Amino acid sequence: MSNPLLDISSLPRFDEIKPDHVLPAVEQLIASNREQLDTLLAENPNPDFESLVVPIELMEHKLGRVWSPVTHLQSVLGSQDWREAFKQALPLLTEHGTDISQNVHLQRAYAGVGASLAANACESQRSAVDHALRDFHLAGVDLPETDKGRFKEIMQELAAIQADFEHRVQDASDAWSMHVLDAEELVGIPQQTLDRAVDEAGQKQLDGWLLLLNYPTYDAVMKHAHNRALREKLYRAWSTRGSDQGDSPEWDNSDNIEKILALRHELANLVGFANYAEYSLATKMANSTEEVLEFLHELAARSRDAAERELSDLQEFAGTDLAAWDIAFWLEKYKQAKYSVSNEELRQYFPAKTVISGLFALAAKLYGVNLEQVSDVAVWHKDARYFSVRNSEGQTVGGFYTDIYARNGKRSGAWIDECVCRKKLNGNTTLPVGYLVCNFPPLDDAGLSLLTHDDVVTLFHEFGHMLHHLLTRIDIPSVAGINGVPWDAVELPSQFMENFAWNYAVLNECSSHLETGDPLPREMFDKLEQSRTAGAGLAMLRQLELGMFDFRLHAEYQPDSPVSALQMLADVRKEVSLLEHPGYNRLPHAFSHIFAGGYAAGYYSYKWAEVLAADAFSAFEEVGIFDLETAQRFRHEILEIGGSRDIMDAYIAFRGRKPTIDALLRQDGIQSK
């Protein structure tokens, strides 16, 4: 029987793919790639781009198409079988990738191609070769064989430990629940959250309500529960996930954190970097650790006065000093009192399906693309959907899946990922396809999920990433879409897109009242807009705290006397944070972005890219946010280019100058306009 995972002639056959298909498919494909690579190098003594780089790109593209459904399914399905299949195959992929990156013969062949490329070679070809040569060096291709072997061992260990880190966070989250029998304990919590808690209790044959530790529930309780003790219980559960302060020692990530930091530092040293932060910057816009830290410190210094005023105003409003589990609640109350705006009142205007419809209309207006749901595409869950993307001439340019509702076993947070990367090689074209995943409130019995405005912003953010993936015009996969884009610039399209969620004309299309069908009233939007900067200074310091903690943790690591992650966090909080955090807080132990994702020594990228995004959006504000000439310039210079050219050169081509941080500070109300 053929393995459906190996069929890349169409979209993944999610109705047929099983966990036991994974290992055989990966083993077969890696063996085939190795044989093909050996033949390629043996029979091609003087390679050029077409005879060397194109076959390598095709091999990697196929491997990516086979592996992407595996990575995706182990993240969105609460299945131990899928997790085990992923864990079995991951070491093989890691070893294979390292083998290729450390192949001296392949590196020399790429160097020969680079030297032979004509001066008028297209940017994407030159970038693909330059990036590959950089990555050869970062993978230790120049090292002695003993050090190469150690580098490979480190990569294997890191892949396994980082996967285990994320699985422990998920397991700890899924295992926690709180059974409530007294309705008085739940006063203030939105009805949608309460209804879901009743359903969860019913599934366990329990009376009352069962609160789970997913983000929609946590967020609703922290913002709306009048019961301060309940807020602290949820805060404690959330801030101790995967730690020694959690419910089970088997989910404690303390050892994983230490191992990850030590291995990353050793890896960086092997290839000539003083620390992992320097190693990380080799693929980013920022030029040095000093530049990153100066950037973070400048933003902190320019935001601190505003944050201090905000905290003082909140505590005066609350009539008491505030703990970490009080800030979101009192900020919500403060917004209601000062601006007469309530997340719960706003939620009535944002059914998820209406928001999506309005978002698609915005994409059509800005970029001339039409998005239509396709019902006969196989998906992995009843809530998943597939959409086809067509240009103004009706030609299909790509597609994407959505899976936007929270459920047990699904990884928390929101993200996009590649399913298929764009490719046009040897006369054959493959269109880009992606996954867009969120964790919004599940559909109720009426088939509704009502979003907060924060949720709307999150959806716009992820859709910005998706447009970056889908609208690329680059034909070489390694530098198409989000590939090859510096990590501290990859958030530019997403954070840029968030700004449209703060525009009345856009929200008018994205809103429809649950009962009346009316769009969001202008006066309600005006209050929402006025509330935008409430708490912005505190939010800025919070993100800078995370970015500084991550970067310093990797930049200052000393193997002989490593500072613990908790001590580093305490040091950073002493410098940046205005809030006192309880001793049991274990933020690092569930910080998957840096310990399991791609943001190690790179979490600062959110703020770095937010500066770019605010500055870019100001170009639209100057001429009108639906200005087609500006939108087309942004599409052409930013969204379409992938990693084919220097991102600062591309930004200057769009904006006419380098970015400044002033637009972000004005946008957040931290600096006067």
- Positions annotated as catalytic residues are 462
Element (H, E) at 416: strand 415-420
Element (H, E) at 178: strand 177-180
627-658 b/e with 16+ CB inside 10 Å = b?
beebbebbbebbbbbbbbbebeebbeebbeee
Element (H, E) at 650: helix 647-655
Cβ contacts of residue 152 below 8 Å, gap of 6+? 95, 98, 99, 102
Q: What count of other Cβ atoms lies within 10 Å of the Cβ of residue 449?
A: 22
Q: What's the CA gap between 502 and 109, in Å, rounded?
A: 50
At 440, phi and psi to the nearest 5?
Answer: -80, 165
Structure tokens that stand for 576 in this block: 């940046």
Q: What's the CA gap between 312 and 314, in Å, rounded?
A: 5
Cβ contacts of residue 123 below 8 Å, gap of 6+? 644, 645
> Quick one: three-class SS letters along 82-114?
HHHHHHHHHHHHHHHHHHHHCCHHHHHHHHHHH
Using alpha carbons, select from 408, 423, 401, 392 the residue that is nearest to residue 635. Answer: 392
Q: What's the CA gap between 295 and 270, in Å, rounded?
A: 28
Q: Are 501 and 453 in contact (CB under 8 A)?
A: yes
User: What DSSP character marks residue 406?
Assistant: -
Q: Torsion angle, CA of 621/627/629/631, rounded to 10 degrees?
A: 70
Q: What's the CA gap between 330 and 508, in Å, rounded?
A: 28
DSSP 356-370: HHHHHHHHHHHH--E
Structure tokens that stand for 362 in this block: 């915005």
Using alpha carbons, select from 155, 165, 101, 145 the residue that is nearest to residue 264. Answer: 155
Orientation angle between helical segments 22-42 and 104-116, nearest 10 degrees: 60
Q: What's the CA gap between 192 and 154, in Å, rounded?
A: 46
Q: What's the CA gap between 300 and 303, in Å, rounded?
A: 5
Q: What's the CA gap between 22 and 82, in Å, rounded?
A: 9
Q: What's the CA gap between 641 and 635, in Å, rounded?
A: 9
Q: How far apart are the first and last CA of the chain?
A: 66
Orientation angle between helical segments 327-339 and 215-224, nearest 10 degrees: 60
Q: What's the CA gap between 173 and 588, in Å, rounded?
A: 15
